[in-house]
Amino acid sequence: MTKRRDFLAANAGRRAPMPGFVLLVHDRRDADPAIRVGFTVTKKIGNAVVRNRMKRRLRALARELLPTLGHAGADHVLIGRQGGIERDYGLLRTEMTKALRKVMSQPATSSRPSSSAKPAC
């Protein structure tokens, strides 16, 4: 994925926060069964070298796990977190497996509360 609108649409989908990354999954609801994936790491994580290293780790995870555990016809976005660069790759793989299973078990509608909801007094 390269277009901003695709990343924004994925933000409205299901999410699974993990210590090393956040996984967002958005069902495109089109006839295309392709699994699309996008990566993002903010400047808060570190300089360009650190951010690119984190993206390489996330790409390796996606290449390894998404063909078998990913949701067909959905966009998957991996957002790198601060602790992800120091985490062991095996631990990241375990977290990714857990996140994919968690997201697939969530209902299709977003479980996040809407921003316009007012708390009950």
DSSP for 30-57? SS----EEEEE--TTS-SHHHHHHHHHH
Q: What confidence score (pLDDT) does residue 111 get? A: 46
Q: What confidence score (pLDDT) does residue 54 get? A: 95
Q: What confidence score (pLDDT) does residue 106 get? A: 77
Neighbours of 56 (CB within 10 A): 11
Q: What confidence score (pLDDT) does residue 121 get? A: 54
Give every residue of the chain whose pLDDT is below 70, as ranges: 108-121
Please state whether 50 falls in left (phi above 0), alpha (psi between -120 and 50) or beta.
alpha
Query: Is-contact 19 27, C-beta < 8 A?
Result: no
